[in-house]
Amino acid sequence: MAETRVAILMGSKNDWDVMKPAADALERLQLGYEARVISAHRTPERLVAFIEGAEARGVRVFICGAGGAAHLAGVTAAHTLLPVLGVPIASSELGSGLDALLATVQMPGGIPVATLAIGKAGAKNAALLAAEILAVSDPDLRARLAKLREEQAAAIPEEPLAKG
């Protein structure tokens, strides 16, 4: 695996299905990552310990996915100057993930969290946004991102009933 550049944190192992598209996208872009189950509520010491060692291990961007009263991205952002990308997850009895979206996106001024869409699209885009952040100072990664965009466009049929 490539050297670590990104950390993918999630509040529960039950969040992995939603967060896996982030890992898939990072792998496609040959970006190394660490994925961990860390809850801001249930394992707060684990969160602080992970963040304290992350930058020395190569982490430059955090992706945090959580559901319900989703504090993981905000608490992570409070402990680091690295960019934090938040992915709201639909997991509570409210169902849609709107609770997690609001909890993640409505950060008070002073501690920023860049919030993506609810669910798998948000997880995938968080990885792509992390790559774009890193590509500012990595021309090879920028080229891989450009190739991915080209492949994505080429895979979209012009005809709605086209096979494939």
Question: Does 4 sit near ligand RP5 (CB under 6 A)?
Answer: no
Binding to ligand RP5 by residue 67, rule CB under 6 A?
yes
- The residue among 4 and 12 lying less far from ligand RP5, judged by its C-beta, is 12
Residue 138 beta carbon to ligand RP5: minimum distance, rounded to whole angstroms? 30
Tally Cβ neighbours within 10 Å of residue 46: 15
89 binds ligand RP5 (CB under 6 A): yes
Question: Which residues ranging from 94 to 153 are in contact with ligand RP5 (CB under 6 A)?
Answer: none
Using CB under 6 A as the binding rule, whether residue 74 contacts ligand RP5 is answered as no
Q: Is residue 66 near ligand RP5 by the rule CB under 6 A?
A: yes
Residues interacting with ligand RP5, by CB under 6 A? 10-12, 14-15, 39, 66-68, 89, 91
